[in-house]
Amino acid sequence: MAAMKFSRQRESIKEFLRGRTDHPTADTVYENVKLIYPKISLGTVYRNLSLLSDIGEIQKLASFGGSDRFDARIDPHCHFMCTRCGRVLDMDEEHFDKLMAEAAIHFTGGEITHYNASFYGICKDCKGKE
């Protein structure tokens, strides 16, 4: 039962994630934390990201193709990915979450513990540039 120790690197990773809402990849986290701890290694970033998501301090998003993305928001919420610019936006309307929660209640094939809903399309910004 590993007792977790403080680490500046981990703290820095958390802080960086808290300051972003654009769901950075492990590599982006690495590039940015490196500005503060130039010797940090990608392995450390991965280890901490997965540790933090295991203990529920951050969320790991795996459904956007390519790399996993990470989110400091841990309350259930849906995501929207723009298939043109690749950005991943939070979908704040609690509307969706009610729907998802309701869906979970009605399912008869097992006991649902969590869900993950991703929507894809063209975001407003890209739409505007057409």
Query: Which of the listed partners (DNA, its own copies, none) does 101 bind, with a CB threshold of 5 to 8 Å by partner kind?
Result: none
Position 2 contacts DNA (CB under 7 A): yes
Position 74 contacts its own copies (CB under 8 A): no
Residue 124 is inside which H or E element, if any? helix 124-128
Burial class (CB in 10 A: 0-12, 13-18, 19+), 46: middle
Q: Hey, what are 30's tokens?
A: 């690495």
Position 67 contacts its own copies (CB under 8 A): no
- The site for its own copies (CB under 8 A) is made up of 62-63, 65, 78, 80, 82-83, 89, 91, 93, 95-96, 99-100, 102-104, 106-107, 109-124, 126-127
